């Protein structure tokens, strides 16, 4: 038996990958530690230059205390990224279930362990799809995760049943490009999967992790609205609110088309990603993005300062000075904070259901953060009475 710990960098897909490895090692009878251990798993990210640097640093740090470090996930597939890693670092260049299988086989099972292990999160990230067949000019993800492919609906629904049995209170459907999910053989679109996943016995709350706006069609909007367990929140990457920048990015929509598609979502709370300092972005284009984010009613913006990624169409293009990117990023983050506070203020006086993922703090159905007394892992029906820097202040209703 070995002691191990798992760490991930990046998005919810990376979390789901790390979770799959962790579960395999627990199933094989190894002992999990919060940090450190003989075996250390690092599921990496390469979405920006900074993410790659952090992944490298984390691998070097882990190599100092571990017998073996397994580097998996997106950055492990980017050629040369870990070329100078220490000798005890094993770079697997695998993602998802393949990575879990490889690591488990390499570490070795101790056998005869069949118990189900409950992972320590109340929210379970269930991967339904991997890869992306779009070709946005800046994005390295299709290179490292390959073309889109889906799990079968039966496998997804069976994993959700298992997560519910393990005590997970919220299910998050996750993928690199979620809207590409299809199970043609069994006749499933994402909309049908949402309806059936949300209706499974024991599912208390269902979310989508992130969805491209081109996939927000009437069928999906209806499924989200008509499935009572679906949380009224969507993360829809915008990347820019300027048509010239969107065209240069190869994003396949205009700002007006983006806004039109969101109209069918009614009162759904919207959050987004924006890339700042893309080569085609001048000051006027950035200003248009700021105005668009506000006009379309989004709140939290994940701001990514642009950095060229190897093998992409814009790999040699980075004309915007770092200081300008930094200044625009700070302005957009400040706007995002202001928009969050406005939404929180609008919730005062209302009630919502909060899943406490730590004592006294959690997320309401609309994914706003609430502070309310209660035990970790419970749903509390709460009434909002004020605001704090961390979110909505509430009392049990
Ligand atoms: S949709 Fe575009 S940005 Fe998103 S993973 Fe695919 S190529 Fe990358």
pLDDT per position as a tens digit, 301-318: 999 999 999 999 999 999
Tell me the CA–centroid distance for residue 68 and ligand 1, in Å. Answer: 32
Residue pLDDT, tens place only, 51-93:
999 999 999 999 999 999 999 989 998 888 998 999 999 998 7
The pair of three-digit structure tokens given for residue 382, joined into one six-digit string: 């709460």
Tell me the CA–centroid distance for residue 138 and ligand 1, in Å. Answer: 9
The whole-number pLDDT of residue 290 equals 98
- Our mutation pick for probing the ligand 1 site, out of 133, 134, 210, counting the most ligand atoms within 8 A of Cβ, is 134
CA-based Rg of the chain, rounded to a whole angstrom? 21
Q: Among 347, 330, 332, which residue's Cα sits nearest to residue 386?
A: 347
- Our mutation pick for probing the ligand 1 site, out of 11, 48, 136, counting the most ligand atoms within 8 A of Cβ, is 136
pTM of the predicted protein model: 0.87
For the chain, percent helix, then strand, then coil, each to nearest 5?
A: 35, 25, 40
Main-chain phi, psi angles of 96, to 5 degrees: 60, -145
- The atom of ligand 1 lying closest to the CA of 176 is 5
| Residue that the structure tokens 């605001």 belong to | 387
Tell me the DSSP string of 155-186. HHHHHHHHHHHTT-SEEEEE-SSGGG-EETTT
The whole-number pLDDT of residue 116 equals 38
CA 328 from chain centre, in angstroms, equals 24
Tell me the CA–centroid distance for residue 57 and ligand 1, in Å. Answer: 26
Instruction: Report the alpha-carbon distance of residue 196 to residue 377 in Å, rounded.
Output: 24
Coil, strand, or helix at residue 145? helix
Q: Which residues of the chain have pLDDT under 50?
A: 110-119
Q: Per DSSP, which regions of 244-332 are E strands?
A: 269-276, 298-305
CA 123 from chain centre, in angstroms, equals 12
Instruction: Report the alpha-carbon distance of residue 396 to residue 377 in Å, rounded.
Output: 15
| Residue that the structure tokens 């992409």 belong to | 312
The whole-number pLDDT of residue 100 equals 84
Classify residue 284 as exposed, middle or buried by CB count within 10 Å of its CB (0-12, 13-18, 19+).
exposed
Tell me the CA–centroid distance for residue 292 and ligand 1, in Å. Answer: 21
**CB within 6 Å of ligand 1 — which residues?**
132, 134-136, 139, 141-142, 176-177, 212
The whole-number pLDDT of residue 110 equals 43
- Our mutation pick for probing the ligand 1 site, out of 46, 176, 252, counting the most ligand atoms within 8 A of Cβ, is 176
What are the C-alpha distances in Å from 5 to residues 33, 131, 164, 304? 5, 26, 24, 28
Tell me the CA–centroid distance for residue 250 and ligand 1, in Å. Answer: 10
The whole-number pLDDT of residue 355 equals 96
Tell me the CA–centroid distance for residue 118 and ligand 1, in Å. Answer: 32
Coil, strand, or helix at residue 48? coil
Q: Are 360 and 374 in contact (CB under 8 A)?
A: yes
């Amino acid at each position: 038996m070995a002691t191990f710990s798992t760490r991930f960098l990046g998005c919810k897909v990376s979390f789901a990958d790390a979770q799959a490895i962790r579960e395999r090692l627990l199933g094989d009878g190894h002992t999990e530690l919060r940090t450190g251990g003989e075996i250390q798993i690092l599921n990496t990210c390469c979405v920006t230059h900074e993410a790659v640097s952090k992944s490298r640093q984390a691998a070097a740090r882990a190599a100092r205390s571990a017998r073996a470090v397994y580097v998996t996930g997106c950055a492990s597939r980017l050629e040369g990224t870990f070329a100078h890693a220490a000798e005890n670092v094993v770079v697997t260049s695998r993602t998802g279930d393949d990575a879990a299988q490889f690591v488990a086989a390499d570490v070795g099972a101790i056998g005869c362990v069949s118990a189900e292990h409950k992972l320590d999160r109340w929210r379970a990230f269930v991967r339904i799809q991997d890869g992306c067949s779009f070709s946005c000019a800046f994005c390295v993800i299709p290179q490292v995760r390959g073309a889109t492919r889906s799990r079968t609906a039966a496998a997804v629904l069976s994993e959700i049943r298992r997560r519910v049995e393990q005590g997970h209170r919220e299910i998050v459907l996750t993928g690199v490009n979620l809207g590409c999910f299809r199970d043609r053989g069994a006749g499933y679109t994402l909309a049908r999967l949402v309806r059936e996943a949300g209706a499974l016995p024991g599912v208390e709350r269902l979310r989508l992790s992130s969805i491209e706006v081109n996939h927000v069609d009437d069928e999906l909007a209806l499924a989200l609205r008509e499935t009572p367990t679906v949380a009224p929140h969507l993360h829809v990457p915008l990347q820019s609110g300027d048509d010239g920048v969107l065209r240069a990015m190869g994003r396949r929509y205009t700002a007006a088309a983006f806004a039109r598609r969101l109209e069918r979502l009614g009162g759904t709370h919207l959050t987004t990603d924006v890339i700042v300092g893309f080569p085609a972005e001048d000051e006027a284009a950035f200003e248009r993005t700021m105005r668009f984010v506000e006009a379309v009613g989004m709140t939290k913006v994940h701001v990514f300062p642009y950095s060229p990624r190897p093998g992409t169409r814009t790999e040699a293009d980075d004309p915007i000075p770092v200081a300008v990117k930094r200044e625009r990023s700070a302005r957009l983050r400040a706007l995002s904070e202001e928009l969050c506070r406005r939404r929180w203020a609008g919730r005062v006086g209302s009630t919502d259901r909060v899943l406490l993922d730590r004592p006294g703090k959690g997320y309401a159905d609309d994914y706003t953060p609430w502070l309310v007394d209660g035990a970790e892992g419970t749903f509390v029906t709460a009434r909002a009475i004020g605001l704090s820097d961390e979110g909505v202040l509430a009392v049990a209703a």
